[in-house]
Amino acid sequence: MPRAIWSGSVSFGLVNVPVKLVTATSSKDVRFHQLHAEDGGRINQKRVCSLDGEEVEYSDIVKGYDMGGGRYVIVEPEELATLDPEADRSIDIEEFVELSDIDPLYYDHSYYLIPDGRADKPYALLAETMARTGKVAIGRFVLRTKQYLGAIRAHDGVLVLSTMLYADEIVPQSELEVPTTDATKPSKRELDMAEKLVESLTSAFEPEKYHDDHREKVLALIEAKADGQAIAAPEAPRDTAPVVDLMAALEASLAAAGARGDGSRKKASA
């Protein structure tokens, strides 16, 4: 079982549910170390002053906020500590909202909330109530001296907490350069064809059928090299021709999707 990184309680109204916070995800990235090409030694990172080029001890490093123009404001750890939010070990639910009202842009990291101590019954009550109502609880809590905004929802009888970004952390779409001229507006026929293509590719989401092909290839390459096999360099990819006729591309896509669907149905019947 994953180790709890926080313990406290979820409170809504006068109901208090003791919980523990555990990570809900596990990164599977293939990580490489930096090595010296000549002798294979690990590369060490050093802290070097940009002015005199001397290595600096960690104890001699302070935090500075860049004000622009080469001016920094030095802030001491003791000064920051006076501003740390009070860690009251509680996630106070401020409101319940519809899941569809939350844009996925706001989600950050996901965690599981599991019952702590003798909290099984109130935990089950909260999880079942949220599942029946389809609501998401919004609240704030403190983790490692930082205040987070969180969304709590029920998933198969377990409470899932997703930390969220604040509104001012989302890049406004008004800052994007997306052309919206008459020339880019699709025709009714193009929209009808595109909708048919979407319908032909629509199915129930099954996360288990997706896997990281690239990671598997990297691990296979590592295993092959560890066994002494020579790895041939791949051919340079060919340039993909730009789509000139949008309708022709849609029609070809629909035909390909239909052929794939027929093949799947034949396989299922067999």
- Give the closest residue to 17 by CA, choosing from 147, 112, 125, 110: 125
Measured CA to CA, the distance from residue 122 to residue 182 in angstroms comes to 57
Ordered by where they begin, the domains of the chain are 6-25+84-169 (2.40.290.10), 184-202+245-270 (no CATH)
Are 85 and 133 in contact by the 8 Å Cβ rule? The answer is no
Indicate if the alpha-carbon torsion angle 185, 187, 193, 196 is positive or negative: positive
H-assigned helices in 82-187: 120-133
Q: What is the mean pLDDT of residues 214-242?
A: 81
Tens-digit pLDDT profile for residues 4-60: 989 999 988 888 899 999 999 888 889 999 999 999 999 998 999 999 999 999 999
Task: Output the pLDDT for position 261.
Answer: 66
pLDDT band of residue 128 (cuts 50, 70, 90) is very high
Tens-digit pLDDT profile for residues 170-225: 999 888 888 777 777 888 988 998 999 999 888 898 888 888 888 988 888 888 88
Measured CA to CA, the distance from residue 154 to residue 131 in angstroms comes to 6
Residue 112 has pLDDT above 90, yes or no: yes
Task: Output the pLDDT for position 104.
Answer: 94
Residue 240 has pLDDT above 70, yes or no: no
pTM for this one?
A: 0.75
